[in-house]
């Protein structure tokens, strides 16, 4: 019988609880818990909100947090953001602190995720310390400092600024031997730009923890949106399209965001549209389980929207814009696609669902979204016992 070797594994990402903000942090927590369940010792290196780089490292639940202004980045004026990104290409202060942690912990493996909050030389540091590294792709941060590319902005990643940024990032990440991506679309975007020519790659959908919910469906056919209430997510577009159709159905919008109050005021007299903004994740999943169809109308080139995966696990029909990695999920499981930003195209799909056109559902395939299956696949890929 082969001897099981347990490892010490470090995970590096921009944010982690209690400062989490998005889907990447959920994936990281799932990976951490899965690896710990297999017997490995896992710690996280992340950041905490601070404008003062010389502040001390915080230790919370055996995880390390470095001071960083990353948390405030989306609120900064564009010039300040540009200067901040330029500084982070080097950032010797952050690099020194990361080195200090890695020398103390002496991990066998480092799993890097989003690294915008860290020095651009972090991967080189890991190589110099002779630590095995695998890198996860979550978005287009390596292709453009903006990180979020939306419909109509496709030329951004081919601009002179983007090419300069990509060349710097390619040099900084050239030593990575293992790349994991949640979608073939995202991986191919990087390969097309010359990233990771020597690396082994794995395309693997992010894991999702399914809630055991037993809720009856609403009596009235119900469409649901879950996510940030903003322009790029396509929420105003969805509401206008739905409202103009006068369907015998309702639309529930779950989430918070900069447009929430304005949209609530605009549709306050529309009985078919309701907003739920203060739900926990479990409460949101319970509400979704009562609905009939989940809609992802995003204008953003996203890698693999977690909300679609959650909708699939809840057994809902799915409608998503044909952009980014979303269509890959639809082709693998089930759902309908529409042309992003095209009201006629979305209207047609809404009517098809409402009129009872069945989406063929292969629920057996959903087993690959299980955290345990995910951990087994990455363990095999990275040769972790």
Compute the mean pLDDT over every residue in the chain, rounded to the nearest whole number: 92
Structural tokens at position 111? 């799993």
313 occurs within a structural domain: yes
pLDDT at 345: 97
Do 242 and 146 lie in one domain? The reply is no
pLDDT, greater one: 244 or 361: 244
pLDDT at 214: 66
- pLDDT over 80 at 363, yes or no: no
Average pLDDT over residues 73-90: 87
Do 227 and 358 lie in one domain? The reply is yes
CA distance 266 to 274: 11
Do 203 and 275 lie in one domain? The reply is no
Do 152 and 256 lie in one domain? The reply is no
Residues 6+ apart with CB under 8 A from 110: 9, 10, 11, 12, 102, 126, 131, 132, 133, 134
121 occurs within a structural domain: yes
Average pLDDT over residues 349-374: 85
pLDDT at 129: 97
Per-residue pLDDT of 123-137, as tens digits, reads 999 999 999 999 999
Do 169 and 248 lie in one domain? The reply is no
Do 105 and 158 lie in one domain? The reply is yes
For 27, 219, 324, the CA distances from 354, given in Å and listed in that order, are 33, 13, 26
CA distance 132 to 381: 13
Helix (H) or strand (E) holding 306: helix 306-313
Residues 6+ apart with CB under 8 A from 28: 11, 13, 16, 44, 113
Per-residue pLDDT of 224-233, as tens digits, reads 999 999 999 9
- pLDDT over 50 at 2, yes or no: no
For 61, 73, 74, 81, 242, the CA distances from 78, given in Å and listed in that order, are 35, 9, 9, 5, 35
The residue range of the domain holding 192 is 8-207+370-382
CA distance 337 to 335: 7
Q: CATH code at 249?
A: 3.40.50.2000
Q: What percent of the chain has pLDDT over 90?
A: 74
Do 187 and 152 lie in one domain? The reply is yes
Taken as a whole, the chain contains a residue count of 385
Q: Which of 161-165, 256-260, 295-299 has the highest mean pLDDT?
A: 295-299
Do 198 and 72 lie in one domain? The reply is yes
pLDDT at 225: 97
Do 243 and 317 lie in one domain? The reply is yes
308 occurs within a structural domain: yes
Do 149 and 253 lie in one domain? The reply is no
Do 359 and 377 lie in one domain? The reply is no
How would residue 364 be classed by pLDDT, with cut points 50, 70 and 90? Answer: confident
1 occurs within a structural domain: no
Burial profile 81-105: b = 16 or more Cβ within 10 angstroms, e = fewer: beebbebbeebeebbebbbebbeeb
198 occurs within a structural domain: yes
Q: What is the DSSP string of 317-336?
A: EEEEESSTTHHHHHHHS--E
pTM: 0.90
Count CB atoms within 10 A of the CB of residue 362.
9
User: Parallel, antiparallel, or unpaired: how do β-strands 63-68 and 58-60 relate?
Assistant: antiparallel
213 occurs within a structural domain: no
216 occurs within a structural domain: no
Average pLDDT over residues 29-57: 93
Per-residue pLDDT of 186-215, as tens digits, reads 999 999 999 999 999 999 999 988 777 767
Do 198 and 233 lie in one domain? The reply is no
First to last CA, the chain: 13
Per-residue pLDDT of 143-161, as tens digits, reads 988 888 999 999 999 999 8
215 occurs within a structural domain: no
Q: How many domains does the chain have?
A: 2
């Amino acid at each position: 019988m082969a001897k099981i070797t347990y490892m010490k594994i470090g995970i590096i990402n921009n944010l982690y609880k209690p400062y989490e903000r998005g889907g990447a942090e959920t994936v990281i927590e799932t990976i951490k818990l899965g690896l710990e369940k297999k017997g490995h010792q896992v710690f996280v290196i992340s950041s905490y909100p601070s404008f003062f780089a010389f502040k001390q490292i915080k230790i919370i639940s055996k995880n390390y947090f470095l001071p960083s202004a990353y948390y405030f980045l989306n609120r900064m004026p564009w010039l300040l953001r540009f200067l901040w990104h330029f500084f982070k290409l080097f950032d010797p202060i952050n690099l020194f602190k990361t080195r200090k942690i890695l020398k103390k912990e002496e991990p066998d493996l480092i799993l890097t995720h989003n690294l915008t909050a860290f020095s651009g030389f972090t991967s080189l540091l890991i190589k110099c310390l002779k630590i095995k590294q695998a890198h996860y792709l979550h978005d287009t941060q390596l292709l453009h400092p903006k990180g979020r590319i939306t419909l109509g902005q496709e030329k951004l990643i081919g601009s002179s600024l983007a090419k300069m940024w990509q060349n710097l990032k390619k040099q900084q990440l050239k030593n990575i031997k293992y790349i994991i991506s949640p979608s073939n679309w995202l991986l191919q975007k990087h390969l097309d730009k010359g990233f990771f020519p020597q690396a082994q790659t794995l395309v693997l959908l992010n894991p999702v923890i399914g809630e055991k919910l037993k809720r009856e469906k609403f009596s009235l056919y119900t469409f649901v949106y879950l996510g940030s209430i903003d322009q790029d997510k396509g929420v105003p577009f969805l509401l206008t399209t739905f409202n103009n159709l006068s369907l015998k159905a309702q639309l529930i919008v779950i989430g918070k965001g900069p447009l929430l109050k304005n949209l609530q005021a605009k549709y306050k007299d529309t009985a078919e549209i309701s907003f739920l903004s203060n739900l926990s994740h479990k409460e949101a999943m319970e509400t979704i389980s009562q609905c009939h169809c989940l809609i992802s109308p995003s204008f953003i080139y996203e890698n693999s929207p977690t909300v679609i995966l959650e909708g699939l696990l809840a057994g809902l029909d799915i409608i998503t814009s044909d952009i980014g990695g979303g269509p890959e999920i639809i082709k693998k499981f089930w759902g309908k696609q529409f042309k992003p930003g095209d009201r006629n195209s979305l209207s047609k799909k809404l009517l098809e669902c409402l009129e009872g056109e069945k989406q063929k559902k292969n629920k057996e395939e959903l087993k690959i979204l299980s955290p345990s299956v995910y951990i087994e696949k990455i363990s095999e890929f990275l040769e972790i016992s």
